[in-house]
Chain A
Amino acid sequence: MENISNTRKVVIHALLIIGSIVMVGPFLWMVLTSLKTVGEAAQIPPKIFPEVFQWSNYKEVFSSFPFAEFYWNTFFTTVIKTIGQLFLCSLAAYAFARIKFPGRNFFFILYLSVLMIPPQAFLIPQYQIIANLELLNTLTALILPGLFSAFGTFLLRQFFMTMPDELEEAAKIDGCNHFQIYWRIMLPLAKPGLIALAIFTIIWSWNDFLWPLIVNSSPDKMPLSAGLASLQGQYSTNYPVLMAGTFLASWPLIIIFMFFQKAFVEGIALSGRKG
């Protein structure tokens, strides 16, 4: 596609700009609404900009809900789940890709079958396990099942599979055991895969909704997603406050994405190629 004519360029830009407005418009409207008074938000015809920026909507969100705790709960569980998955999945992935042991294929198929199971098929017993361990309304409840991922193991295995045998042979001759090969040689080489998995885990953990809704009903142990649901319960029609809360819940991941967007996009694209 070397030379695109100017008219074609104009058409392409026009289409992309219309598309972009549809994609970004809702976010802009959220931010603008979050700074209005209830009266302004309900005005007909709608006013685009508020007369005075109503920062008090944000104050209201923080004063009526433990939003600082929501942040901490979301942040902490996301970090632990991500580190945990990277370590545990890569260990298993290394074994499936590089170590020969009896039953390897059987276990691998077992992992793959977990990939096919939709979440609702294990949510009830998962809830019971957490309840029986008396872990309801704790951060551990949010973290525990999410530490283990068949998807992550599968994704990283595809990476370890493509690595040359020579590296491993050389390390074995030098007397390295499998853990040393895994830790010193294979992990650094699997960096693109690890980044992709980290991004998936971060997005999924930050945005996870149904599981926290089920296990953590006490506000100080909720993540942002479930917190939004309770905010809606209290301010059912006060849209400026609701939009302030929505903005507060979604900006951190959006900012992280803006900074690391190349890694995000490549990570998602990679899963498509490896999958």
Chain B
Amino acid sequence: MDIKKQKSTLRKNDMYWGYLFIAPTLLGLLIFYIFPVFQTFFYSFNDWGDFGSYSWSGLENYEEMFANPEIWDSFRNTLIYAFVMVPISIAISIIVAVLLNQKIKGLTFYRTLFFLPVVTMPAAIGMIWKWLYNADYGIINHILGWFSIPGPDWLTDPNWVLISIIIVGTWGAIGTNMVILLSGLQGIPKSLYEAASLDGAGPTYSFFKITLPLLSPTIFFVAVISFISAFQVFDFIFMMVSPTNPAIDSAQSVIYLFYHYAFVIGEKGIAAAIAFVLFLVILVLTILQFRLQKRWVHYE
């Protein structure tokens, strides 16, 4: 039949266009992303010698990795960072978003200010905070001095350095979270609040019974992306904490150590093993979050 024939040439035509359109990105992703992942996995079972030579060494890199306290520390630091920074930054972002979702003057102005760190490069953020944290001349310890609080050595005291890093990470994350949450808030029908207030509900009741449940899908989305990016924290830590810092063991993140092993001392096999274990940790936590969402996320 003629029509059938026409249809099949059309379909063939579609096929060519489809492949043609995805070809450039597909090739790029295969060469620069997909194939390299398998290569990294392979490298994690190899020992790296000088001049880029490598030889099969089985599980040696993983054994070496798990026997190395420095690497354990970096995983511990990163986990603490993520599990403290993400909830705090989301809580603050929700408060800011709710405040900005009111009918008051100067909304755009406030929103602009809270968003500033998002468009500032993390390397610059690290530099700025390193100066603010300076133990001798830093403005933070000076301000604490007004209240007679002796400021700590923020970046060189092993007990404080991770807290300092968490503060900077939180400060930098509020802008993005706030904007996404604000757009979620704007999707909540105003009539619900009106009905609640007619029934005599106060703002606290409305917040916990209307705002939070209806915002929960957005909060879930923000939590997932925040966790993934928190596990990859590197830039501003690299700027604030140098390898010679006495508190380095309590400060370095997994990626910090990955960079050190892969590109400073050339232990690419161990670096690949680190990369893979981190990948697994992120994957398991993301799956866990999706599993747990039924308990607290309300979909209409």
Cβ 8 A contact of B102, one of A4, A153, A245, A272:
A4
Closest to B92 in A: A19
- B235 surroundings in chain A (CB, below 8 A): 207, 209-210, 225
Bound Cα distance A30, B134 (Å):
13
Bound Cα distance A26, B122 (Å):
13
Does B159 lie at the interface of the complex (its beta carbon under 8 Å from any beta carbon of A)?
no
**Beta-carbon contact of B110 and A272 below 8 Å:** no
- B175 surroundings in chain A (CB, below 8 A): 23
Closest to A226 in B: B123
**Beta-carbon contact of A209 and B131 below 8 Å:** no
Cβ 8 A contact of B103, one of A4, A13, A123:
A4
**Beta-carbon contact of A272 and B222 below 8 Å:** yes
B-facing residues in A9-41 (Cβ within 8 Å): 9, 12-13, 15-16, 19-20, 22-24, 26-27, 29-30, 33, 41
**Beta-carbon contact of B119 and A273 below 8 Å:** no
Does A61 lie at the interface of the complex (its beta carbon under 8 Å from any beta carbon of B)?
no
Does B212 lie at the interface of the complex (its beta carbon under 8 Å from any beta carbon of A)?
no
- B112 surroundings in chain A (CB, below 8 A): 257-258, 261
Does B171 lie at the interface of the complex (its beta carbon under 8 Å from any beta carbon of A)?
yes
Bound Cα distance A119, B271 (Å):
13
**Beta-carbon contact of B115 and A124 below 8 Å:** no
Closest to A111 in B: B29
Does B214 lie at the interface of the complex (its beta carbon under 8 Å from any beta carbon of A)?
no
Closest to B231 in A: A118
Does A94 lie at the interface of the complex (its beta carbon under 8 Å from any beta carbon of B)?
yes
Does A275 lie at the interface of the complex (its beta carbon under 8 Å from any beta carbon of B)?
yes
**Beta-carbon contact of A26 and B132 below 8 Å:** yes
**Beta-carbon contact of A27 and B221 below 8 Å:** no
**Beta-carbon contact of A254 and B137 below 8 Å:** no
Closest to A214 in B: B263
Q: Which of B30-38, B59-67, B68-76 contacts A (4 or more CB under 8 A)?
A: B30-38
A-facing residues in B6-64 (Cβ within 8 Å): 11, 14-15, 17-19, 21-22, 24-26, 28-29, 31-37, 39-40, 43, 52
- A22 surroundings in chain B (CB, below 8 A): 171
- A161 surroundings in chain B (CB, below 8 A): none
**Beta-carbon contact of B255 and A122 below 8 Å:** no
Q: Which of A52-60, A101-109, A187-195 contacts B (4 or more CB under 8 A)?
A: A101-109
Cβ 8 A contact of A272, one of B132, B142, B184:
B184
**Beta-carbon contact of B283 and A116 below 8 Å:** yes
* Shortest distance between the CB of A200 and any CB in chain B (Å): 11
Cβ 8 A contact of B255, one of A120, A125, A245, A275:
A120
**Beta-carbon contact of B127 and A101 below 8 Å:** no
Does A147 lie at the interface of the complex (its beta carbon under 8 Å from any beta carbon of B)?
yes
Does B228 lie at the interface of the complex (its beta carbon under 8 Å from any beta carbon of A)?
yes
Does B139 lie at the interface of the complex (its beta carbon under 8 Å from any beta carbon of A)?
yes
Cβ 8 A contact of B33, one of A122, A182, A275:
A122
Chain A interface mostly: helix
**Beta-carbon contact of B17 and A44 below 8 Å:** no
* Count of inter-chain pairs, beta carbons less than 8 A: 283
**Beta-carbon contact of A122 and B40 below 8 Å:** yes
Bound Cα distance A94, B268 (Å):
39
Given contacts A9-B104, A114-B34, contact A23 B139 (CB under 8 A): no
- B142 surroundings in chain A (CB, below 8 A): 44-46
Q: Which of B80-88, B147-155, B272-280, B292-300 contacts A (4 or more CB under 8 A)?
A: B272-280
- B103 surroundings in chain A (CB, below 8 A): 1-2, 4
- A9 surroundings in chain B (CB, below 8 A): 104
**Beta-carbon contact of A41 and B137 below 8 Å:** yes
- A127 surroundings in chain B (CB, below 8 A): 262-263
Cβ 8 A contact of A96, one of B22, B95, B101, B183:
B22
Cβ 8 A contact of B139, one of A15, A29, A264:
A29
Q: List 18 A-B contacts (CB under 8 A).
A: A16-B100, A29-B139, A41-B137, A110-B29, A110-B34, A118-B228, A120-B232, A120-B255, A120-B274, A125-B40, A178-B17, A179-B17, A207-B122, A209-B122, A209-B235, A225-B123, A239-B137, A261-B115
Contacts from B to A (Cβ < 8 Å): 11, 14-15, 17-19, 21-22, 24-26, 28-29, 31-37, 39-40, 43, 52, 95-96, 99-104, 106, 108, 110-124, 127-129, 131-132, 134, 136-137, 139, 142, 171, 174-176, 179-180, 182-184, 190, 193-194, 218, 221-222, 225, 228, 231-232, 234-235, 238-239, 254-255, 258-259, 262-263, 268, 271-272, 274-276, 278-279, 282-283, 286
- Closest 4 pairs between A and B when the two form their complex, measured CB to CB: A148-B28, A101-B18, A125-B36, A269-B183
